[in-house]
Amino acid sequence: MANSFSSSCSPSMKFDFDEKPHVLAADDNLIDRKVIERLFINSTCKVTTTENGKRVLEYLGLADGQHPNHNDLKVNLIITDYSMPGMTGYELLKRIKESPTMKEIPVVVVSSENIPTRINQCMQGGAQEFLLKPLRLSDATKLRCHIKKLNNPLQGGFAGEDDHA
């Protein structure tokens, strides 16, 4: 079952971070990567995009044979397309959630296909959200609020919260 969150964030909300929140996004479609880039750069985030899940794992230091170095890596949110060649978004989600050093990073899965079993599988696998394409400004605003709450637990973020009730 999908998590639901109430949000008191406004689209014009600015972050109080010392540095911009970092969004890491994977999508095999260049246009979809550009949309994500635009939505989050316009909302004061640093955005890194890549074309597949393998590249995300390499970036995080989770590819086969790599050792993660979380001390130098600041990723606040990962967005992944579900349907990508080589590795699905669900497979990427599982690899991230199996990592002791990366499992706390929220992962959002996006897809152009509204398939309930796929959505449930991703949510049960640890996805923070499952969003349908095309992503909109309201989606970016909602995700930006989640990043802010995660980094400021006093505002009622995810840390230690059990959403599976």
Decide if 158 is inside a domain: no
Write out the two tokens for 86.
């080589």
Domain count, the chain: 1
Decide if 82 is inside a domain: yes
Decide if 163 is inside a domain: no
DSSP 8-state secondary structure symbol assigned to residue 5: -
Strands 77-81 and 129-132: unpaired
pLDDT of residue 128: 95
pLDDT of residue 25: 98
Decide if 39 is inside a domain: yes
DSSP of 57-123: HHHHT-STT----TTT----EEEEES--SSS-HHHHHHHHHT-TTTTTS-EEEEES---HHHHHHHH
> What is the domain-level CATH number for residue 128?
3.40.50.2300
Decide if 156 is inside a domain: no
pLDDT of residue 20: 83
Mean pLDDT, the chain cut into blocks of 10 residues (165 residues total): 34 51 96 95 87 96 74 85 98 97 95 98 98 94 78 42 36
Separation of alpha carbons 88 and 53, rounded Å: 7
Decide if 1 is inside a domain: no
Decide if 98 is inside a domain: yes
Decide if 93 is inside a domain: yes
Structural domain harbouring 132? 22-150
Query: CB under 8 Å to 119, separation ≥6 — which residues?
Result: 2, 130
